[in-house]
Structure 1
Amino acid sequence: MIARYLILVPLLFSQPAQAAAPVDLNVNGRIIPMSCAPILSANGVVDFGKIAQQDLNLTTGTRLPVKSLNLTVICNGPVRYALRMHDNRDGSAHVNSEIYYGLGLNNSANKIGVYSLTFDPQQTVVGGVAEVHGTESTTGGVAWRAANRNPINIGAKSLLGFTDTAGSTAGPMAIQNLTSTLSLETVINAKQNLDLSTDILMDGSATLEVEYL
């Protein structure tokens, strides 16, 4: 991929004066030989079908059955990377937390609900690794949480990676092939907060990104 930069420099004509100090512009980046492709089962589509409004709780959220998704990340060589989620319905979650993603708005601009995606290191397989441990960074990769085998939600403001070393704070290891079973948990907003005069279409959408380290 070639990045093209257009730099617009406004010109000001005036009488000759003492020259101002120059300023440098640096355009940086790194092109790596490795690349990875994430693949979700069912093309990443989760369909709950029709939900009757009488099955919704009046004053509290309604939890839907947990759904599972299979994730495969295939790289053309070992590479250090982390995963990040971007909410394509940002601002529509009725719970304010980076691990919850919105289901869109109904016709009256009510927030329909939220969902979260959980990775379980014990259901994650990396080629040649006996045990996989999850690690997380909330500082853009500057510091990493001690790696462990506990389930972990992927957050919109965090990086999630995997390593073979329990307790490591060095971040993710280089991985070529990874498979994992993810759990998707969905909660519909309280019935009293929704306009149920017409059908409500759940419209959650998020992008799972591979970020090279």
Structure 2
Amino acid sequence: MKNLFAALSVTAALCLAPHALAASTAELAVKGLITPLACTPTLSNAGLVDFGKISRQDLNVDRRTRLRDQALYLSIHCNAPGRFALRMQDNREGSAIVNSQIYYGLNLDGSGNRIGLYSLNFDPVNTVVDRLPQVFRTDSTTGGVAWSTSNSRPLPISARSYLGFTDRAGSTAGPIAIYHLVSRVIVETVIAPTSELDLSSEVQIDGSATLEVVYL
């Protein structure tokens, strides 16, 4: 309340002094921090999940079809232990058949219909960090200001949240400093009902996303 009262009193003073001189300058500050930390993420199979050719007969007409799950290995190596988090940006934004920050699009068919969606799922049980005996995940929806209580439940990576890892369960302190991380991630893919797709010609499944390391 003290800040509110201060603002109100300044406003009143300005109203009582209409002839006071206004400042004729404005200041701009540009800030940042350059860190020597450098982390390199690598996905197995060059990050490619290829289902090959899928017959329309293998897809449901009036409901969505979940394809077989695919596994990739994500490796992150840093030049020194450092705190970081992960997030993923959809390069086919707006094409997922469900509007959610954890689902990513497979692009559009020839008639502009949304083909489907996929998610990238992390499981702390299948994640190895340095020489730690056990890893827990934590996430932040506030850009790293506050973190969820760490736990061992699997979690899909989000486009608008940070995903990090720690060595303590029940912690809200955020990710710990990590030198090397390896995680077996699962790609879950869903195709729209064929009744909602234009299958007069072949439809190219064309999902693309960028996995980003965010330094904290």
What is the TM-score of this pair, normalised by structure 1?
0.90
What secondary structure does 1:122 align onto? helix
Which residue identity lines up with residue 30 of structure 1 in the other structure? L
Q: 2:52 aligns with which of 33, 49, 54?
A: 49
Match of residue 143 from structure 2 = 140
Q: 2:27 aligns with which of 21, 24, 28?
A: 24
Which residue identity lines up with residue 118 of structure 2 in the other structure? Y
Give the helix-richer structure, 1 or 2: 2
Task: Give ranges in structure 2 of 5+ residues lacking alignment.
Answer: 1-20
Match of residue 211 from structure 1 = 214
Match of residue 105 from structure 2 = 102
What is the CA–CA distance in structure 1 between the aligned matches of 2:31 and 2:69, rounded to whole Å? 43
Query: Can you list the C-alpha shifts for 1:16-69, whole angstroms capped at 9, x where unaligned?
Result: xx7743111111111011100000000001100000011111111100000000
Query: Can you list the C-alpha shifts for 1:79-124, whole angstroms capped at 9, x where unaligned?
Result: 0000000000000001011100000001100000000000000000
Q: 1:67 aligns with which of 67, 70, 84?
A: 70
- Counterparts of 1:95-174 in structure 2, within 5 Å, are 95-174=98-177
What secondary structure does 2:125 align onto? strand
Match of residue 194 from structure 2 = 191
Aligned length, in residue pairs: 196
What is the CA–CA distance in structure 2 between the aligned matches of 1:101 and 1:53, rounded to whole Å? 22
RMSD of aligned alpha carbons: 0.9
What is the CA–CA distance in structure 1 between the aligned matches of 2:209 and 2:134, rounded to whole Å? 29
Asked whether 1:200 is paired with 2:203, we answer yes
What is the CA–CA distance in structure 1 between the aligned matches of 2:64 and 2:22, rounded to whole Å? 65
What is the TM-score of this pair, normalised by structure 2?
0.89
Which residue identity lines up with residue 154 of structure 1 in the other structure? I
What secondary structure does 1:73 align onto? strand
Which residue identity lines up with residue 205 of structure 2 in the other structure? M
- Counterparts of 1:7-22 in structure 2, within 5 Å, are 20-22=23-25
Which residue identity lines up with residue 55 of structure 1 in the other structure? D
What is the CA–CA distance in structure 2 between the aligned matches of 1:60 and 1:68, rounded to whole Å? 25
Query: Can you list the C-alpha shifts for 1:130-182, whole angstroms capped at 9, x where unaligned?
Result: 11000011111111110011101101011000000101001000000000000
Structure ID, larger Rg: 2
Which residue identity lines up with residue 50 of structure 2 in the other structure? D
Dislocated runs of 4+, deviation >6 Å: none
